[in-house]
Amino acid sequence: MTKPLAGIRIADFTVHNAGPFCTNLLSQLGAEVIKIESAMRPDAFRKPHPVYGRMGPATFDQVASTKLSVRINLKKADGIALAKRIVTVSDIAAESFRPGVMDRLGLGYEALKAVKDDIVMLSVSSSGQSGPDSHFAGYAPLFGAWGGLGELTGYADGPPVEIRHVMDHTVGMNAATAVMAALHRRRATGQGGHVDVAAREVAASLVGDMLLLAAAGGSPARQGNAHARMAPHGVYPARGDDRWLALAVTDDAEWRGLAAAMDREDLADDARFATEAARKSNAQALDAIVVEWTVQQDANEAAALLQHAGIGAHASWTTPEIAGDAHLRERRAIVEVAEPDGKLRAAVGVPMRLSKGAQIGIDRGTPKLGEHEDHVYGELLGMGRDERRALEEAEVIY
């Protein structure tokens, strides 16, 4: 069955992670995404680095699968003209440079609107396209710091915690939602538009409850893995080296179930723990009792026991455990993808499913630089061999 975004084409100028994650999601939903880069200035994440047990650009693989790749040297005027030709056959142009960079290149919204009147342009940046801080550079840890998320993450007696990929990906998901809204508006009105997504605003949107608490006179603070109401609630050491069990008890019935699972029925009616309020007041003593039990348990076996008792619990899984999870593989959240070297590797699929058999997700692995130029320059733009050869010799296609 045709993917839901089949027929939508994106000229993708994004780099690093937040913007590319957005266009990767849209590609898995069926959009044809043409990644524009060059040998002179490839995406920084293409550079191989020894992580995740292999020498390869794992971060780039995650956000570039299913995309097409062409080379364009945007330092040359003919390169800018060629990029605009791709925009003329596209529905969306996406970029994630600092504000002003695309304008200086001659590829800002007004310039692209001049060649494609109904283009939807997405700009992802640290602080937005306007405002006193719009010139600020930023990466994922800064987004969380600016938006207050970092200040609320970590232990009370420790520093704020850097929030990396999850911040980039949350920005990307917000950007994908905004682009879909702009496409819907274009379908209704025939008008394109400029979508402006600021990463620090995405971060701030995630701490709305804490902002309300502060406005009401409260004092939001880091609380580690604790919960404002529930106890026990957290991640507890299990048997073995660096093994952990996450669990949360939401009500009195679950507390009695946990006490039974720990073979400590004597605790069920202990006045210190008999009610939610009492458990929270005595959380430190309660955590010590839970730890006495968890350190003797295999994390996965304990999780299964607690789930059977109706208690939310799971082992804190390592990445190899996630990659091998039968549930995620059956739902195609984890898939095998052929990479340019021909090897099959586990990849993270789009985190959603559609009814009626619509097969969304990764179709192919990470593209080689310039891999799809025959299709883009030949089939889409109708470029002849002589013209293409001349652009290659002039290092426009480079």
Tens-digit pLDDT profile for residues 233-246: 999 999 999 999 99
The residue-averaged pLDDT of 302-319 equals 96
| In the predicted structure, residue 321 carries a pLDDT above the cut 70 | yes
Query: What are the tens digits of pLDDT across the range 376-389?
Result: 999 999 999 999 99
What pLDDT, on the 0 to 100 scale, is given for residue 285? 97
| In the predicted structure, residue 250 carries a pLDDT above the cut 90 | yes
| In the predicted structure, residue 133 carries a pLDDT above the cut 90 | yes
| In the predicted structure, residue 128 carries a pLDDT above the cut 60 | yes
Query: What are the tens digits of pLDDT across the range 273-287?
Result: 999 999 999 999 999
Mean pLDDT for all residues in the chain? 93
Residue closest to 90 by CA, chosen among 120, 59, 132, 53: 120
The residue-averaged pLDDT of 180-195 equals 98
Query: What are the tens digits of pLDDT across the range 100-115?
Result: 999 999 999 999 999 9
The residue-averaged pLDDT of 186-208 equals 95
| In the predicted structure, residue 204 carries a pLDDT above the cut 80 | yes
- Quick count: other Cβ atoms within 10 Å of Cβ 282? 16
What pLDDT, on the 0 to 100 scale, is given for residue 59? 75
What pLDDT, on the 0 to 100 scale, is given for residue 195? 98
Q: Cα(27)–Cα(5) distance, rounded to whole angstroms?
A: 8
The DSSP bridge pattern shows strands 92-95 and 120-125 to be parallel
Q: Cα(42)–Cα(63) distance, rounded to whole angstroms?
A: 14
Q: Cα(200)–Cα(206) distance, rounded to whole angstroms?
A: 10
Rg (CA), the chain: 25
What pLDDT, on the 0 to 100 scale, is given for residue 340? 66
- Which two three-digit tokens encode residue 334? 């984890």
